[in-house]
Structure 1
């Protein structure tokens, strides 16, 4: 890299919610601070409602919005995909396509057609938050393969994801670049308030936070709560339930713990997070599989230890025995063992004392270097 690059990030930004929008926005701010003129090409309609049953947008931003943001893309306007590509072929040196779901691929292929319609256009990098979905179909593989083979570079957030992308790229291509996901946490107004709870500051309460889908393992957490945690420990499951709450409610009733579990169905806005964290001894992340998540750092930002599986990059963010405990993914018995160990006398307070907020700067410095080098 010999000088400033004109960068276009194609991805969600406010009013879209969640970690994807926060990541795109924070990345734009960081690149501009490094001297690279950056714009965000966002969506006015990202997914069909039938394919994304949760809430897609929010009224209040969860961080500082990025000023140079356009909202011209829509999943139902292929002509807009091509026009955006034609414009970026003239205005950008580097185009970054942020990939969250194969649903985005048709739009990205249309955008690429516009980009390639001009000679000497910008380099195009696919920034893969997920190379393939956790719950995938055969068409997903075909779509993502078609996208990755048309780009100039691929960036993933873990070696495991890089290997998956490498298999789709085929022979003769540069290997995917691995850039560890940097922190991009919502602004919640500060740390969680001190709980009242039992003597020693214990709340006797656990928290699961995030979109509830099968790969997140909430069913395993219910089994572990019934079999491993003390009988006075309760649980809140807060987030958007993509299949509704009925099945998990029935499971809790069958396990005899319905009175110990509270299901809060719906997106949790940033201002409500301190209260949820303040009521919990630990955040539990029982994922069967994972790529990268902010939830360990988010818990630590609020002074709360984490019990997590070793799926994906979760274990990279937990200092076992210092600010959390780890167990094997997909194993309810091992999760029950970890919950039992967590509630050994004095252990919740000891692990809470070990929690430190993450220092974001080294992560972002390394991340932007890896992305620009791709």
Structure 2
């Protein structure tokens, strides 16, 4: 099958770029690919981060036939992308749905492709609706989805949200593991030493962009109670702030836990991810809302258990008391209890072994097979497995 893919790819930063790169690698094994990526995803005044391009990562893209054409605010590039796809005449077009900001581009591209070709269009929905919503989001999403033939989601929450918008075939596939991170098998103690921690420190890792919906403030508020029971506990926050940083610093100061919190306010390049996960005893996602999170899959890649909240699709991928612990959102006391219980007991190694044994559930091959069935067999039924 000949497949066109629209999405960010190396050297763009972030989870969608990582996901698309891994997806294209897996698809290219048995299919001919045409990959249309971006020259620019967002104007800088709309982008809350510092950089959209990972200039320091030494790992080169392993995807051939990538064309960096699209600019989300330049309609001329949309027409160029349509022309390129039409010329290649693929059977299937895959795109990644994340934000209604891209509605004008996708509406134009898909309308023209449907008029000019017989291509089938498949949406991989990372968020059917955005975390921070506006009154227009459902309307804008419907505009894009009316020209989409098939959908893949990764969580029960997104499955439910999508079925309120469209009735077309939808498949749910567990979010796959990322494999692009450098692995040198650094020891936990050596990793701690590099980060200026001691080998006796119990490291609680919060990883990824800091946004309000990720609930970091509740993890900070849980730390005083954790420290009463685990005096050597350290909260390691690694990621670029997309929220008001001063708010978090003030809370740390007010709680008098400055010596127990390490803030690393930067985007972490793929070559450096292993360091922080190797140092961690547990990874914590205190999210207020979520569909899924690539941080869980990254933790699993490094065999690290996860403590998270009962929101969105997170309980789909974290099995309570087996691969991690699940608590209610916005409850710092319950979160503190779970973290303390985890660090006091010896359940981490057992959970790590379970994660190692069950990684096959999060394979890219399962996702590719689902895409093949939709693209080749034109399946008309939903699959909520």
Q: Same fold, TM exceeding 0.5?
A: yes
Q: How does 1:84-95 map to 2 (within 5 A)?
A: 84-90=81-87, 91-95=89-93
CA contact (8 A) 1:14 1:61 kept: no
- TM-aligned CA distance change 1:136 to 1:244, over 3 Å: same
* 1:318 alignment partner in structure 2: 318
How far is 1:239 from its partner?
0.5
After superposition, the Cα gap between the structure-2 partners of 1:302 and 1:203, relative to the gap in structure 1 and judged at 3 Å, is farther
Q: Distance in 1 between matches of 2:39 and 2:115?
A: 24
CA contact 1:166–1:175 (8 Å) conserved in 2 = no
Q: 2:209 aligns with which of 192, 208, 211?
A: 211
Query: For residues 324-356 of structure 1, what are the alpha-carbon distances to aligned partners after superposition, in whole Å with 9 as ceiling and x for unaligned?
Result: 222122322221110121122545555556552
2:377: which partner in 1?
Answer: none
2:33 is the alignment partner of 1:51: no
Aligned residues: 363
C-alpha offsets along residues 273-296 of structure 1, whole Å, 9 cap, x if unaligned? 222223221111111122222322
**C-alpha distance in structure 2 between counterparts of 1:354 and 1:361, whole Å:** 12
> 1:159-182: per-residue Cα shift (whole Å, max 9, x none)?
22022112122xxx3242222221
Find the counterpart in structure 2 of residue 38 from structure 1: 33
1:308, distance to aligned residue in structure 2 (A): 1.6
Q: Secondary structure at 1:168's aligned position in 2?
A: coil
Distance 1:202 1:88, change over 3 A: same
Q: Confirm or deny that 1:23 pairs with 2:30.
A: no
Distance, in Å, in 2 between the alignment partners of 1:348 and 1:83 is: 52
TM-score by length of 2: 0.86
How far does residue 319 in structure 1 lie from its aligned partner after superposition? 4.0
Shift of 1:320: 3.2
Is 1:202–1:349's contact at 8 Å kept on the other side of the alignment? no
Greater shift in the superposed pair: 213-222 or 291-300: 291-300
Deviations 1:147-201 (A, max 9, x none): 01121222211222022112122xxx3242222221123322233423278xxx7
Q: Which secondary structure state, in structure 2, belongs to the residue aligned with residue 142 of structure 1?
A: helix
Contact 1:22 1:63 in 2 (8 A): no
1:145 is aligned to 142
| Alpha-carbon distance between aligned partners in 1 of 2:287 and 2:250, rounded to the nearest angstrom | 20
For residues 158 and 107 of structure 1, what CA distance do their matches in structure 2 show?
26
Residue equivalent to 1:164: 161
**Which 5+ residue runs of structure 2 have no aligned equivalent?**
193-198, 375-385
Instruction: Give the superposition deviation at 1:41.
Output: 0.5
Asked if the contact 1:89–1:121 (Cα under 8 Å) also holds between the matched residues in 2, the reply is no
> Measured at CA, do residues 25 and 279 of structure 1 come closer, stay the same or move farther in structure 2, by a change above 3 Å?
closer
Q: How does 1:1-374 map to 2 (within 5 A)?
A: 5-34=1-30, 36-54=31-49, 55-59=51-55, 60=57, 62=59, 64-90=61-87, 91-118=89-116, 120-169=117-166, 173-195=167-189, 203-229=201-227, 230-348=230-348, 351=351, 355-356=355-356, 359-360=359-360, 363-374=363-374
Match of 1:289, SS state, is coil
Q: CA deviation at 1:371?
A: 2.2
SS at match of 2:370: helix
**C-alpha root-mean-square deviation of aligned residues, in Å?**
2.4
- Cα 1:245–1:125 change in 2 (3 A) is same
**By how many angstroms is 1:77 displaced?**
1.5
8 Å CA contact retained: 2:22, 2:178: yes
Q: CA deviation at 1:42?
A: 0.2
Looking at structure 2, the residues matched to 178 and 162 of structure 1 have their Cα atoms a distance apart, in angstroms, of 7
Give SS of 1:298's match: helix
TM-score, normalized by length of structure 1? Answer: 0.89
2:83 match: secondary structure: helix
Unaligned runs of 5+ in 1: none
Q: Which moved more, 1:109-118 or 1:92-101?
A: 109-118
**What SS does the aligned partner of 2:273 have?**
helix
The question of whether the paired residues in 2 share the 8 Å contact of 1:47 and 1:103 is answered with no
